[in-house]
Structure 1
């Protein structure tokens, strides 16, 4: 089964803090929805750009995409 990394982009001087905080909400969503994959993270790419992300399987991608509206996605792994 494919795993898809859903990504939220944050820009600006506070992007790292926002991405870190957003990951907490992603973890909460995974727990509430009881999703089978619980891989999340955030990456600071530079001082003005950071991302938060979560990994879902194909079976859950559409529902999570529609509920959380990520900016983009890519294959994971």
Structure 2
């Protein structure tokens, strides 16, 4: 199975809190769409930039891309 990493970037002083909150919405979407989450997380890049990410099977790329508009998509 080929995997893709879908990433959302948040900027500002509260970026980590926002990225962590985004994970709740991501989990809800993946559950509703019956898409298996292979990995999910958030990470502080620096004082003002954080990300949230999901790793999933690449066969769901179009569904995720169209519905959730990730900022970055990469091979995992």
Size of the aligned set, in residue pairs, is 76
2:67 matched residue in structure 1: 67
Whole-angstrom distance in 1 between the partners of 2:13 and 2:28:
25
Runs of 4+ in 1 over 4 A off after TM superposition: none
Gaps of 5+ in 1: none
Gaps of 5+ in 2: none
TM-score (normalised: structure 2)? 0.92
1:44 matched residue in structure 2: 44
TM-score (normalised: structure 1)? 0.91
Matched, 1:58 2:55: no
